[in-house]
Amino acid sequence: MNILETRHGRMMVRPGQDLISANLALHGHYEWNVVNLCAIIAGGYESGVILDIGANMGTVTVPMAKAHPMYEIHAWEPQRVVFQQLCGNVALNHCHNVYAYNKAVSSGNGCVDIDMPDYNTNTNIGAWSMSSKVRENNQEAKAGGVKEAVECIKLDDLAFDKPIRLIKMDVEGYELDVLNGGLDFLKANKFPPIVYESWTQFELYQETAEE
């Protein structure tokens, strides 16, 4: 791992051609427009909670935690290896308001055995998905690594004592599973704003758009 000074903060990045790491190394940032959007929507309240579902290495988690020290940032990353990277970046930036979980937010509770990426050769580790359909149909999302058990939880089983200011969701085609496991949670929290990634250029995602 290399440690770089970036717009997001000090970041532990993977050497090689991984998309996010390469952008941080070459440009010093990755999708900073998403960070800006999240910061605007989250507002400047005295307290609150931000949920980062699909946090990857923390390019949103870390700057949001630094910009909103009065908020709790709860971040979920199902890939064990990437989760370790996330924790390293949280520690490097002294983000004591971050709570990180090596779990997947899904439509149900339990554990699933799932193929992980090959971290030595994959050029876009962040494109990996919990969805088997996405992994089978999107070349960037293909696994190729070892099989690991991933613990799954539902949003509906979570409760916070502060208002939810923002949900950022970057789960590579797994959005419906996250939402289906959180309908009661969203209603109970007055449907907080959600920032999510939509890959409308892929036929697979267009097929599920009406769902």
Average pLDDT value for residue range 164-184: 95
Average pLDDT value for residue range 32-45: 96
Reading the block at residue 102, the tokens are 């090596």
Please state which of the ranges 62-71, 93-102, 120-129, 130-139 shows the lowest mean pLDDT.
130-139
CB-CB neighbours of 186 under 10 Å: 16
| Nearest CA among 178, 164, 85 for reference residue 129 | 178
206 has a pLDDT exceeding 90: no
Query: Model's pTM, two decimal places?
Result: 0.93
Give helix then strand counts, H and E, for the chain: 8, 10
pLDDT over 90, % of the chain: 74
What pLDDT sits at residue 97? 98
DSSP state of 193: -
Q: Rounded mean pLDDT of the chain?
A: 91
Bigger pLDDT: 169 vs 201: 169
pLDDT in tens, 76-120: 999 999 999 999 999 999 999 999 999 999 999 999 999 898 888
Q: How many whole angstroms separate alpha carbon 18 and alpha carbon 201?
A: 21
